[in-house]
Chain A
Amino acid sequence: MLTPAKYALQSISKQRFRSVVIFLLVFITSVCLYSVSYFIRNIRSGVEQAAGYVNADIIVVPSGYSESAKSSLFEGEACTILFDADPTEKLRGIAGIDKVSRQLFLETLQMDCCSASGVQIIAIDTANDFAVGRNLSSMGIDSLAPDELIAGSGCGLATGSTINFFNRDFTVAAVLDETGMGYDQSAFVSLEAADAITADEQYKHIFGERTGISSMILIKTAGGADIDAVKSGINSALSSSGAAAYTVEGMTKELLKELGYFRSFGTVISTFVVLLASVALFSVITLSFHQRRSRVGSLLSVGISRGKIVEIFALEYLYLTLFAALSGIALAMMVVLPLHDVIKRSLELPYKFIGAGNMALLGAFVLGVDIIMLALGFSVTFAGVMRTEPARLQEEQL
Chain B
Amino acid sequence: MTLKAENISKTFGKNGLAHSSISASEGSFLCITGESGCGKTTLLNIISGMLKPDTGEVSIDGKSLYSLRERERIKLRNEKIGYMTQGNSLIPELTVWQNIVAPSELSGKKTDSRKVMELAQRLGIDKVIDSYPSELSGGEYRRSLLARVIVLDTPLLLVDEPTSNLDESSAAIVREVLYEEYKKGKGVVVVTHDREFQSYSPETFELRNGGGSIEQ
Contact = CB atoms under 8 A, between A and B. Distances in A.
Interface in B73-94: 74-79, 82-83, 85-87, 89-94
Contacts of B102: 2, 7, 299, 302, 304
Contact of B106 (A2, A14, A297): A2
B192 interface: no
Which of B79, B90, B91, B160: most chain A CB closer than 10 A? B91
Interface stretch (A30-38, A249-257, A384-392): A384-392
B89 A391 contact: no
Contact of B94 (A1, A2, A4, A391): A2
Interface string A307-320: 01000100000000
A398 B45 contact: yes
A295 interface: yes
Nearest to B149: A302
A300 B51 CA distance: 12
Given A303-B74, A390-B51, A11 B106 contact: no
A298 B12 contact: no
Contacts of B152: 302-303
Contacts of A389: 50-52
B94 A303 contact: no
A89 interface: no
A282 to B, nearest CB: 22
A302 B51 contact: no
A45 interface: no
A304 B78 contact: yes
Contacts of A295: 91
Contact of A308 (B45, B77, B83, B107): B107
A397 B46 CA distance: 12
Given A2-B105, A7-B93, A302 B98 contact: no
Contacts of A294: 87, 89
A161 interface: no
Interface residues of B, number: 40
Considering residues A1, A301, A305, A389, which has the most beta carbons from chain B within 10 angstroms of its beta carbon? Answer: A301
A394 B98 CA distance: 21
B114 interface: no
A67 interface: no
A308 B52 contact: no
Contact of B45 (A3, A4, A15, A391): A391
Contacts of B41: 397-398
A394 B85 CA distance: 9
A301 B98 contact: no
A343 to B, nearest CB: 44
A300 B105 CA distance: 14
B103 interface: yes
Contacts of A391: 42, 45, 50-51
Contacts of B42: 391, 398
Given A397-B160, A398-B51, A1 B91 contact: no
Contacts of B89: 294, 297-298, 301, 394
B16 to A, nearest CB: 9
Contact of A398 (B12, B110, B132, B149): B12
Interface string B95-113: 0001001110111001000
A16 to B, nearest CB: 11
Interface string A272-304: 000000000000000000000011011111111
A35 to B, nearest CB: 35
A392 B87 CA distance: 13
Interface in B7-24: 12
Contacts of A159: none
B91 A304 contact: no
Contacts of B51: 389-392, 398
A334 B187 CA distance: 64
A2 to B, nearest CB: 4
A7 B106 contact: yes
14 contacts: A2-B94, A2-B105, A7-B98, A7-B102, A11-B93, A297-B85, A303-B77, A303-B107, A305-B71, A305-B107, A389-B51, A389-B52, A397-B160, A398-B51
Given A305-B75, A308-B106, A397-B85, 12 more contacts: A3-B106, A10-B94, A15-B93, A299-B91, A301-B50, A302-B77, A302-B102, A302-B148, A389-B50, A390-B45, A394-B85, A396-B87
